Amino acid sequence: MGKKLMIIDTDCGIDDAQAIMMALVAPEVEILGITCTFGNAAVDDVCQNILRVLSVCKRNEIPVFRGCAGPLVRATNPISDHFGGDGLGDVIKDKDPQWEKKIQKEHSVNAMIRLVSENQKQVSLVALGPLTNLALAVRLDPGFPEKLRELYIMGGNMEGKGNLTLCAEFNFAMDPESAYIVLEEYLCPTHIASWEFSCRNGLTWEFFEELINQDAPAARFMKTITSQCSAYSKTSLKNKRDVYFGPVFVSYDAYAMAACIDSSLVTESISCPVRVELQGSIGRGMMVLDRTHQLKKRHSVFVLTKCDINKFSQLLMGSLRQPHKN
């Protein structure tokens, strides 16, 4: 069998960078392109972050496309500073003044449609940020989802526990209308790595220290971009963010990427229809699982619940240790 063709749609923060590096070293994966969207940072910062990751990993041949700068319907939400103002911890000072010349002129949505149309039923789309680019793709080409091999999403929640709002996960809360469109209209095999899934399969902070202290360029880069970021501070996490799940290290986007790279890593999932709430003043952006089929939808998705922690740990460790392809 040939390599798995992949498009990565991302709002590149630190965990996106980790996920991308995981894909870069996977021998069975060929990345056709990386499409950028707003989310963890403004879309221009996201583009620069991707270029930085590709440069560290010596994979500058992979095309990068600039996409949506805000949500589909409403005014742009304030950009999160969870991973710093630029998405990579605000520690990179030597910005590339020529970065815009390295971004493809084609818009992310057009590139996504073109690449998938050229490789029908072969492309795995991994979505790591707000789903705005994906929603626009199905509006421009209603047949786009059926041309995909599969879709993996990091986003949504299973239990109404929010990490941006009271009831909604960050990626879905940043553009609920787009999340709604994607989960209603993408009928291809769809796998969702929710916020709870990621947190419940978290790793120890001792593992994190071992991960970033490997003697390799990618590991040194990860150590640098996490060095001043409160999201990677054990004290900050214990005090502020572990209300539900305890003091664990969670590289959120890496879970969706790992599941796409190696489906055997997922040991349990729920197959059911889902819907994103748009109207509720408290629940807007929340993903609802319809386990009793009251919505009468014809399409179910796979909501991941458990993974093989050992396999996941190995993929994470290898992403920063192994030499990247030339």
End-to-end alpha-carbon separation of the chain, Å? 22
Nearest C-alpha neighbor of 47 from the set 93, 4, 91, 105: 105
317-326 per-position pLDDT tens digit: 999 985 655 4
Characterize 236-267 residue by residue with b for buried, 16 or more Cβ atoms within 10 angstroms of its Cβ, and e for exposed. ebeeebbeebeebbbbbbbbbbbbbbbeebbe
- Mean pLDDT over 89-106 rounds to 91
DSSP 234-275: HHHIIIII-TTT-S-B--HHHHHHHHHH-GGGEEEEEEE-EE
Would residue 326 count as lying in a domain?
A: no
Residue 216 lies in a domain: yes
The whole-angstrom separation of Cα 243 and Cα 189 is: 33
Is 307:315 a contact under the CB 8 Å cutoff? no
CB-CB contact of 156 with 194 (8 Å)? yes
To which residue do tokens 């990860």 refer? 222
- In this structure, of 231-235, 248-252, 309-313, the range with the lowest mean pLDDT score is 231-235
Number of domains forming the structure of the chain = 1
Q: Which two tokens stand for residue 144?
A: 């786009």
Domain membership of residue 137 as a residue range: 4-321
Cβ contact 7:50 at 8 Å? no
| CA-closest candidate to residue 36, choices 114, 115, 132 | 132
The two tokens of residue 47 are: 């583009």
Question: Average of pLDDT values for 211-235?
Answer: 88
* 140-149, 153-162, 226-235, range with the lowest pLDDT: 226-235
The pLDDT score that the predictor gives to residue 326 is: 46
Give strand ranges (E) for 98-232.
123-127, 150-154, 190-193
What mean pLDDT comes out for the span 189-205? 95
- The torsion of the CA quartet 206, 209, 215, 217, rounded to 10 degrees, works out to 140
**Residues 236-246: pLDDT tens digits?**
544 434 456 66
Band (pLDDT 50/70/90 cuts) for residue 161 is confident
pLDDT given at position 89: 87
Q: What is the pLDDT of residue 147?
A: 98
**Element (H or E) spanning 15, and its range?**
helix 14-25
Cα distance between residue 40 and residue 11, in whole Å? 6
Q: Which of 65, 135, 114, 86 is nearest to 276 (CA)?
A: 135
Residue 54 lies in a domain: yes
**Mean pLDDT of all residues in the chain?**
92
Is 317 within a domain? yes
Beta-bridge partner residues of 195: none
What ranges in 89-175 are assigned the alpha helix state H? 108-118, 132-140, 144-147, 170-174
Residue 11 among the catalytic residues:
yes
Asked if the structure places residue 69 within a domain, the reply is yes
Helix (H/G/I), strand (E/B), else coil: 226: helix
pLDDT tens figures, 39-88: 999 999 999 999 999 999 999 999 999 999 999 997 766 666 778 788 89
Listed residue (83, 78, 75, 47) closest to 63, CA to CA:
47
Q: What is the CATH number of the domain that holds 190?
A: 3.90.245.10
Q: What is the mean pLDDT of residues 94-112?
A: 95
Largest CA distance in the chain: 54
Q: Which of 199, 304, 198, 253 is nearest to 18 (CA)?
A: 253
Nearest one of 58, 84, 46, 27 to 224, comparing CA atoms: 84
